[in-house]
Amino acid sequence: MNKLTRILNTLLALSALISANSLSADTLKTGDAFPEFEANDQHEKAYPMPSDTKYVAVTFAMGSGKKANKFFSEKGANYLTKNKAVFLSNIYGMPAVGRFFAIPKMQKYPHRIMLADQEGLLDDFPQEKGKVTILELDAGGKILSIKFWDPSEGNQPF
């Protein structure tokens, strides 16, 4: 591993650690309305939350994001759409040098990725270290259930 790669990995790990330790007292819970927000996808195109969204898969760190992307890629480009699911990946705080490598790699995935790139956007989302948060929504956009999924275990998230 070269020096730049080690530095990049250290910065990304620190960013994830800071994010994971900044849980808010107002963490989303079942019965809460899913928050409205605007975001772009990995191709820098507007990605509004589809009105029929049933599941939102959220990653907060590079490791769980890579595992989720691998899983969703293996399932095919239509897996998320077919399941009325959105994949939301936190990139806020990612250093410019990290984005230089990460965004082009994300653009190669067959599935669409909503990029959380605003300060505080995911502060109220529940999370467990190393896992993907899965929020199940009802037709009105309220949170029905929250679970934590490890893509490397091979089970289905929804």
pLDDT in tens, 135-157: 999 999 999 999 999 999 989 99
Indicate whether 18 belongs to any domain.
yes
pLDDT in tens, 69-86: 999 999 999 999 999 999
Q: How many residues in the chain?
A: 158
Q: DSSP secondary structure string, 4-51? A: HHHHHHHHHHHHHHHHHT---TT---TTSBPPP---EETTS-B-PPPT
- Compute the distance between CA of residue 149 and CA of residue 155 in angstroms, rounded to an integer: 8
Query: The domain that contains 42 carries what CATH number?
Result: 3.40.30
- At residue 110, the 3 state secondary structure works out as coil
Indicate whether 158 belongs to any domain.
no
Is 92 exposed, middle or buried, given 0-12, 13-18 or 19+ CB atoms closer than 10 A? middle
The residue segments making up the domain with residue 77 are 3-23+32-153
pLDDT in tens, 12-35: 454 544 444 444 457 999 999 999
pTM: 0.79
| Domain total of the chain | 1
